[in-house]
Structure 1
Amino acid sequence: MRNTTWIAILVCGVGAAFIGGLYVRQLADGSVRHAAERPREAPSHAAVGRDELISTLATQDFDRTISVMNRIKAMRYQGDILPLISEAWQLNLTNMPHVEREFVAHPRIRIEIADVLLQASRNGATGLEPSAYSSYARLNATSTDRDVAIHALLVLGVAGDAVDIPLLADILASENEATFRAAVHAFVQVCGVDDERVARIASRLRSRVLQDHLRQSWREAPELRSHLCK
């Protein structure tokens, strides 16, 4: 397996989500930007076909694979490639004989696959396993690998499941600056979160900076939540 440094949410598109027509992206400083329209696709976001995905996975290159996964997230039509990604999630590599199981099963790649499939499910794709993807993210939200933990938290934000409120609240309470902003981004998307809960958590934070970030993110959440909490 190629030994590369995999850094999440540092380049355009990483940590990006298209949920209910809303474009969401977490930036390198942990801040979140969202807008009602998807950005215009650049040439680097050209559609990914089955052959390119297979050949990229076969390289065992984290950076190249993550770049391809982000292009898939930006694709308006994913129907031709989703079955193959679903097979990769199931570790069924029959149609990918040159792809190593160890690479596809690595948390940095598997959380990417979960992200693609969960976003597709939220956007109407059928025959997928959204509960399995969110469960995997839940298990990795406290990973000692900072980048895996951050991406797992972003996936929990896509899931928006109220069952994750206690977990996210605990992560916020830990005031770990490495994951705090990703946890905030996920927390404010959960439909079971309300003003009282946000105020209670914010009041217990020791850091004024983190308090302000949580409160500001909540104030900016209504547009995002309007697409998620229907």
Structure 2
Amino acid sequence: MKITSFLFAFAAAALPALGADLEPTLGNKGKLLLEETFSGPEVPKGWNANTGSLRIVEGQLHAGEKSSDKHIGAFRYRLPLQDCAVQMEFKLGTMRVINLGYDPAPGELKKKGHLFSVVVTPKSWSLIEHNDKSNPASKTKTHATAKTDFAPDTTYTLLLECKGNDVVAHVTGKESLKASAPDFGVKKPGLVFRMGGKDGEEVALDNVKVWALE
């Protein structure tokens, strides 16, 4: 076997197989709070589009932006959380950006808008802390970022974990991103997904799991 072929085979073997769960680094997986495979013919109850479109295609949730909304596509799943780990599979397709993150639960912070997100584009990914929409001087802060390609037709597994004020994001085959901020440990009302692209472009999501993180 040629050396290059051996190295490729070794690297491929070292990556988790598609469908395999990633392991958190901030704690241990506790109770499984949500598991969704999108195996039915309709979008499951609780997956609510605020803007954009949601539909089931061959056992996956396809989500996209609608230009008529004049807003990035966004949907939520309500699930009270605090210390937790969220895993999902995604295929970026031709989308320009996808986000997975949280809002602060009502009454937790004197802040309007999102809390933090992991952001994936075709050429990079980042962990960002969102600005306070009630404060004109507030700005979005990038805590960690890496330039790396996300192939449009490759399915990746993402794990976003948060415990206390610490956050770590993992993607198969990528170096993990880490961030910390005083507000990250607050209670969260559920998952926030956002996606940006042209009409007809969609990201494919599958096998969403959420655990309490102990």
Settle same-fold status: TM greater than 0.5: no
TM-score norm. by structure 1 comes to 0.27
Determine which structure has the larger strand proportion and give its number. 2
Determine which structure has the larger helix proportion and give its number. 1
